[in-house]
Amino acid sequence: MKLSRISSVVAAAAIAPAVLFASPAVAADTATSPASSAPDTTPDAKPDTQGNAKADENNRFAILKIIDKSKPGSRVYEAAQAAMNGSPEDRVRFLDEGYELAQFADDKLRTAQILSIGGKGVRREAGEALKKGTHEALRQFLEVGQYQARDEDNAVEITSMLVTAKPGSVLYDAIQEALDGSPEERTRFLEVGQHAARETDDRIRATRIAMTGGPHVKEAAKKALRSGKAEDIRRFLDVGQYEARKLDEAEAAKGKDKNKDNGNAKDSQESKEGQGAKDGKDSKNGKAIDGDEQKRDGAKEPKESNGTTGVQPAVATSSTGSSDVQLASTGAGSTTPWVIGGSAVALTAGAGLMLTARRRASSEN
């Protein structure tokens, strides 16, 4: 009997430490099961609601983690705050079912917001998730479906840029790369890449205009490029270059009109000088021509009027052009035959007298 009692005491002493140390571990596992659950899911085990302070402390810790991950103002955030300020039973109830209901309400609201601002594909997928009305459908859309639909919309938007992009430009090449890339690359192109590509193309275009434009256009282009700001270069391309071009065209038109006026003045001066020289020459030649014509007329008149009665003698005028002064009267009139006959008789009589006088002289000698 003594040996059996001693054996029992020794066995009890050996088992006691194991029993004492194992009991807290089991209690800890039971108490920490709510805290170890993920915030997006309902806790797998119910916390101890029989006044266990350690279990309530673990529940508080789990709710604090949910609050930290929630957006202020959301249903989950407000419900978690109410649970923290409530009783241990409120905290247990929130972890059991309250969190799930609040999360469902937030997911439904978030899906509706995405539907209102999303593209065509996003609106389609969000509408289908809301139509199903289950939390699983909403979670699938928010975690997977919206990103797939958004990439579809991004690809459509990027493709539409090819209509206006010039082949060979930086933007055109960037669009091709984005379409061939991943969804993340397409998103990055729409957020950043397209703007950088457009700025590069604008700089290239402004530089070309600065090399080929007029004085005002060149100056405006260089000023925009020197500023280095994308908005200054874009303003030059949209407005500034056309304003500067008008100034260049106005100056060109003004210079053209000035050259035209100078040409007209020169032509007028040359015309006056030529006309003066021509008038002088005509005036100088006019005297000789008039004199010659008068002489020819004077010589011609008698011949034409020979033996003709009633023809007035030609009258020569002076070189001064005055027709009131007579210089000479020429031509044959009605008395011309008598004058000629008288002259012949006088010459014959004179010749007879001279012949008689010579004969007398000869006879006296």
Selected residue with higher pLDDT from 356 and 294: 356
pLDDT at 224 over 60: yes
Q: What is the mean pLDDT of residues 120-148?
A: 96
Please give the model's pTM, rounded to 2 decimal places: 0.51
Of the pLDDT bands very low, low, confident and very high (cuts 50, 70, 90), residue 194 is: very high
d(CA 341, CA 203): 117
Please state, for a pLDDT cut of 70, what percent of the chain lies above it: 56
The secondary structure of 197-250 as a DSSP string is HHHHHHHHHHHHHHHHS-HHHHHHHHHHHHH--HHHHHHIIIIIHHHHHHHHHH
What is the pLDDT at residue 274?
58
DSSP state of 324: S
Return all residues near 358 (Cβ < 8 A) that are at least 6 apart. Answer: none
Check if the beta carbon of residue 33 is closer than 8 Å to that of residue 43: yes
Beta bridge partners of residue 314, listed in sequence order: 330
Residues in the chain: 365
Measured from the Cβ of residue 331, the count of other Cβ atoms closer than 10 Å reads 18
Residue 166: its H or E element = none
DSSP state of 74: S
C-alpha torsion angle, residues 319, 325, 329, 334 (rounded to 10): 140
What is the pLDDT at residue 8?
41
For 268-327, the pLDDT digits (tens) are: 666 666 565 555 555 455 444 444 444 455 444 444 444 444 434 443 444 444 444 344
Check if the beta carbon of residue 199 is closer than 8 Å to that of residue 230: yes
d(CA 316, CA 327): 6
pLDDT at 58 over 80: yes
Of the pLDDT bands very low, low, confident and very high (cuts 50, 70, 90), residue 81 is: very high
Beta bridge partners of residue 329, listed in sequence order: 315
pLDDT at 365 over 60: no
pLDDT at 21 over 50: no
What is the pLDDT at residue 254?
86
Selected residue with higher pLDDT from 211 and 38: 211
Of the pLDDT bands very low, low, confident and very high (cuts 50, 70, 90), residue 147 is: very high
What are 192's two structure tokens? 């950043």
Q: What is the mean pLDDT of residues 80-104?
A: 94
Residue 139 vs residues 135, 142, 202: alpha-carbon distances, Å: 6, 5, 44
What is the pLDDT at residue 278?
56
Of the pLDDT bands very low, low, confident and very high (cuts 50, 70, 90), residue 148 is: very high
Range of 13-22, 84-93, 334-343 with top mean pLDDT: 84-93
Selected residue with higher pLDDT from 336 and 322: 336
Q: What is the mean pLDDT of residues 250-269?
A: 71
Mean pLDDT, the chain, whole residue set: 74
127-131, 162-166, 225-229, 311-315: lowest mean pLDDT where?
311-315
Selected residue with higher pLDDT from 264 and 174: 174
Residue 330: its H or E element = strand 329-330
What is the pLDDT at residue 12?
41
Q: What is the mean pLDDT of residues 138-145?
A: 96
Measured from the Cβ of residue 139, the count of other Cβ atoms closer than 10 Å reads 17
